[in-house]
Amino acid sequence: MAIITQQKTAERPAPISETSVLGWLRINLFSSSFNTILTLVMVFIVYLTISGVLAWGYLDATFVADKRRECYDFSLTGACWAGVIAWLDNIFYGRYPREELWRVNMGGLLLILWMIPLWISRVRGKILIGVSVIMFYPFLAGYLFTGGEKSWFMQFMVTGAFLAFFVNMANMLIGLTMNTSMDKFLLRLIGQSEAPDKTQRNILLGLVVLSFVIIFSVQSSWIVDGVSWTKWGGLFLTLVISGIGIASSLPLGIFLALGRRSKLPVVRVLSTGFIEVFRSVPLITVLFMATTMFPLFMPEGFFLNKLVQVIIAVVLFNACYMAEIVRAGLQAIPKGQFEGAHTIGLGYWGTMGLIIMPQALKHMIPNIVGNIIGLLKDTTLVSIIGLFDILGMLRSISKDVPWLGLHKEPLVFGAILFFLICFSMSKYSRHLEAKLSAGNKH
């Protein structure tokens, strides 16, 4: 006779041995005698490492001292972070005049503010924002950092930068609060949202010109002291060089890659030759050539400062690597895509710009970001040719008499700093990948 019950047996929790911490430990770490031994050995190694690092870096370390001898008086084995702390301004800003540091901070802050709308989905007109950053920000930042008298062109660009920045900020606020774009909002505000297109365009154009004139007259009295590029240094210089390097090597790389795949023989040969030559020499050689030999070939009186030479060298060098990455992406696009583009009547640039490049670049994001991270770290080579970038500054601490011989702590600090920057870049690239390939997960 079968025993049938209508009641469902009450749910019981999984056995303790499966769910508790102990259970997890037993299954994952102590499942056999071999694993147990392995676990214990690893725990011991981890303990040794952590306790050693902790003792050196924190427990025995000195954070407040005027010279290294005072650190030794406190502990002979601990780290001497006081030296790094005393040099923080040098590490971040180089020899930039101390009372002018706000300009560097302001430059960084402006860039971040400018870019924020790009990450907010409710803000409209992202392409315009991106273009405005690339077109105007370098001039505004360039003037902030170098200062001095403004040429007419510079005044023009600085005005443009301010205008673009203010519009961008207002656009973001309007987008966030009213979920519309700025031009529509303005037109509604003055009651012209129903006017014909042409009137609308004229009104907007008038507003732009008006605010341009106002800003122009205000900025012409805004003059900051000149600071020579020779005073730039530290993380600031590293970011300037790699920032310009990143921003210009990608577009340049795209053109080189297209050139290399071009059907026009001259373009193809030139692009290929350029890529192969620059890729076949070490960066340090390119840097040395740029700074010591280049001035010899130039006509007398022609003077390009060392920083510009270095930046050009870094850009050209990295553009070649970028070009090969982009080319790899182009190779991966099936022929059908090109043919499809042709059938809907797109020309060369239309095909490339609208169909091929977006796909190619998306595929290559990991490589591109990898290259960008490599570029950031490569820029430390400039410390060899006498620019005091972050590595140059970190190494100089051990030569400063109060901190003579202090070389481990600065390098550890630098390593942490680089890790933070590079890791956040790689995190961001993962995020970008996920966002862009949302449609075709496989």
Partner 1 sequence: MKLKLTLMTMTAAAAFMMSGATTAAAETTLETVQARGHLRCQVGPPSPGYYNLDAAGEWYGLDVSICRSVAAAIFGDATKLEIQSVSSQARFTALANGDSDMLSRTATMTMSRDTQLGLDFLPPNFYDGQGFTVRKDSGITNALQLKGAKVCVTSGTTTELNLTDFSRENDLGISNVTFDDYNVRDDTYLNGGCDAVTGDKSSMAGNIGSFPVPSDHMILPETLSKEPLAPAVRHGDSQWADIVRWSVYALINAEELGITQANVDDMRANSKNPNVLRMLGVEGNLHEGLGLGKDWAYDIIKSQGNYGEIYEKYMGHGEQGIGIDRAGSLNALWTDGGLMYSPPMR
Interface residue list for partner 1 (CB under 8 A): 68, 72, 76, 86-87, 89-90, 94-96, 98, 228, 230-231, 233, 288, 291-293, 295-296, 300, 384-386, 388, 392-393, 395-396, 398-402, 404-407
> How far is 328 from 331, CA to CA, in rounded Å?
5
CB 260 within 8 A of CB 271: yes
Of 249 and 291, which CB lies nearer to partner 1 in the complex structure?
A: 291
Q: How many helices (H) and strands (E) does the chain have?
A: 22, 0
Query: Hey, what amino acid is at 150?
Result: K
Of 165 and 403, which CB lies nearer to partner 1 in the complex structure?
A: 403
Query: Hey, what amino acid is at 14?
Result: A
CB of residue 142 vs partner 1: minimum separation in angstroms? 20
CB of residue 62 vs partner 1: minimum separation in angstroms? 13
CB of residue 345 vs partner 1: minimum separation in angstroms? 56
Backbone angle region of 142, left / alpha / beta, with phi > 0 → left and psi within -120 to 50 → alpha: alpha
Nearest to 110 by CA among 22, 169, 70, 60: 169
CB of residue 384 vs partner 1: minimum separation in angstroms? 6
Identify the three-state secondary structure at position 140: helix
Of 127 and 401, which CB lies nearer to partner 1 in the complex structure?
A: 401
Of 90 and 248, which CB lies nearer to partner 1 in the complex structure?
A: 90
> How far is 334 from 181, CA to CA, in rounded Å?
38
Backbone angle region of 125, left / alpha / beta, with phi > 0 → left and psi within -120 to 50 → alpha: left
Of 139 and 388, which CB lies nearer to partner 1 in the complex structure?
A: 388
Of 285 and 437, which CB lies nearer to partner 1 in the complex structure?
A: 285
CB of residue 124 vs partner 1: minimum separation in angstroms? 44
Of 65 and 319, which CB lies nearer to partner 1 in the complex structure?
A: 65
CB 107 within 8 A of CB 141: yes
CB of residue 239 vs partner 1: minimum separation in angstroms? 17
CB of residue 422 vs partner 1: minimum separation in angstroms? 23
Of 56 and 288, which CB lies nearer to partner 1 in the complex structure?
A: 288
Give the relative orientation of helices 408-436 and 365-378 as an angle to the nearest 10 degrees: 160
> How far is 273 from 323, CA to CA, in rounded Å?
12
Of 353 and 405, which CB lies nearer to partner 1 in the complex structure?
A: 405
Across the strands, what pairs with 232? 94
CB-count exposure of residue 244 (10 Å: 0-12, 13-18, 19+): middle
CB of residue 61 vs partner 1: minimum separation in angstroms? 15
Sign of the Cα torsion 59, 61, 66, 68 reads: positive
CB of residue 75 vs partner 1: minimum separation in angstroms? 10
> How far is 94 from 382, CA to CA, in rounded Å?
14
